[in-house]
Amino acid sequence: MVAGGRGAAVGIGVAVVMAVLGIQICSAQISRSGFPSEFVFGTASSAFQYEGAIKEGGRGLTIWDTFSHSFGKVIDSSNADDAVDQYHRYPEDIKLMKDMGMDAYRFSIAWSRIFTNGSGEINQAGVDHYNDFINALLAQGIEPYVTLYHWDLPQALEDRYTGWLSPQIIQDFAVFAETCFQKFGDRVKNWITFNEPHTFATQGYDIGLHAPGRCSILLHLKCRNGNSATEPYIVAHNLLLSHAAVSDIYRRKYQKSQGGVIGISLDVIWFVPGTNSTDDIQATQRAQDFQLGWFLNPLIFGEYPSSMRSRVGGRLPTFSASESALVKGSLDFVGINHYTTFYAYHNSTNIIGVVLNDSIADSGAFTVPFKGLKTIAERANSIWLYIVPSGMRSLMNYIKNNYGNPLVIITENGMDDPNDRSKPIKEALKDEKRIRYHNGYLTNLLAAIKEDGCNVKGYFAWSLLDNWEWSAGFTSRFGLYYVDYKDKLKRYPKDSVQWFKNFLAS
């Protein structure tokens, strides 16, 4: 069933019923033995949020270095110059993963460590670092899952040709990716081209809250350059073509000899209709088309969702016949980053469109985590993160029913606590809410696999450590391990670490 069709809207309605059922089972006790024997459990991270050491080993500057050092871009005025210093402390961190019983670690390779200026001469020091890191993981029985791009574009490419706004990026990204296949592919068997292209396109080029901070939204105080009505679509199009080019290179030249797989990680908020009206049910489908469908439809079917094509019109780039053929089917698995669920309402006024004039307004849907003054569920720390475990099961069924049940890996799932500087560390380690969160989401994931037949093979908790959270800086703690930012970045296990150890040993 093609997303955007009548059947998909019916699927949304069915999912609402499933959501109610899902809530009823989220408190069940689960164990690793309940999951398929080949199922992979791991933790996740990204280079910019973890590594630090931004001026060591030949690393070049990135758009996030520039952005985070610009006034007013990060809520606590912090930066990731040191982050949590995994560049130096990875042996210690790998032991933490091993001690928990994790099977795998998802991390990203910093493009500017391999090519200091984004292209040109290979930086051997960067290659050596990741070789050592990968070898250390494997020595402890931890399988590496490598993300090639987690938002940290080399600043040199942004300066040279405006980065992802230019088709030149396709060639440069392909060279970077192929270099990684050549240098690390004998040991890395799981590749992810991009992390959250939807977030990158909208936050970076629509509303300007992430690097490179471009937008044209009326009254926006933090960005002046850009065009919110066109640039998110151009960036997303170039990302999809880059993914397809890299996937083609890997499959033609490396997959058979190296024996690996290649996919992409997409961010997905699950949406449920704010009311049972036809308008809100249709708006819910459009919201999903403009989020998940924006990327997964081309990757599965070779074209953008029909709702996007009709509503965006000539501002939405088109695929040539050859490009469509290259993009379609260009993945071995779908990575899903899922955290929360929102309500969706039909946008019956044009006020939002006039103010925003962007990809968000184009959907004609208004998505929020509350009805009136009542929130959809208990909130974590982030203003966007509400704890709705049933959304996991509903989302997995939506992907199964609308996209032919592709192989899925949950490449991120987790929740944050506030960084309360007045709270003693001993108290901060008591993260019962996080335990309930993972138990609830994993329970619903297991039901989706065992009861509904969803094709899911892995789950990666975000995140191993508390870390630097982009525009939220150090105000948010997602880690299973507490990082003491005031005492040499010491790591302390939260109660959720013991929960995972018990779960994974069961």
CA separation for the pair 498, 99 (Å, rounded): 10
Give the CA-trace dihedral at 190, 196, 197, 198, to 10 degrees. 150
Six token digits for residue 208: 């300007």
CA separation for the pair 451, 453 (Å, rounded): 6
Six token digits for residue 354: 């006039």
Six token digits for residue 468: 């630097």
Q: What is the CA radius of gyration of the chain?
A: 21
Concerning whether 231 is annotated as a catalytic residue, the answer is no
CA separation for the pair 209, 411 (Å, rounded): 23
Q: What are phi and psi of 342, to 5 degrees?
A: -125, 160
CA separation for the pair 101, 113 (Å, rounded): 30
Strands 476-477 and 456-461: unpaired
Given 143, 196, 323, 469, the catalytic residue? 196
Q: What is the DSSP string of 54-103?
A: TTSTTPPPBHHHHHHTSTTSSTTS---SSTT-HHHHHHHHHHHHHHHT--
Q: What are phi and psi of 278, to 5 degrees?
A: -60, -40
Given 158, 231, 412, 469, the catalytic residue? 412
Max Cα distance, the chain (Å):
60
Concerning whether 196 is annotated as a catalytic residue, the answer is yes
CA separation for the pair 179, 114 (Å, rounded): 8
Distances (CA, A) of 345 to 47, 95, 202, 334, 365: 37, 47, 20, 27, 6
**E-only strand ranges, 440-504:** 456-461, 476-477, 481-484, 490-493
CA separation for the pair 444, 25 (Å, rounded): 7
Task: Give one word for 321, left, alpha or beta, with left for phi > 0 and alpha for psi -120 to 50.
Answer: alpha
CB 150 within 8 A of CB 48: yes
Q: What b-and-e string marks burial along 370-382, b requiring 16 or more CB atoms within 10 Å of the CB? A: eeeeeebbebbbb
Distances (CA, A) of 445 to 42, 155, 369, 389, 436: 15, 39, 22, 9, 14
| Residues comprising the chain, all counted | 506
Strand partners, 344: 273, 367
Distances (CA, A) of 418 to 405, 431, 466: 37, 11, 11
Q: How far apart are the first and last CA of the chain?
A: 38
Among all residues, which ones are annotated catalytic? 196, 412
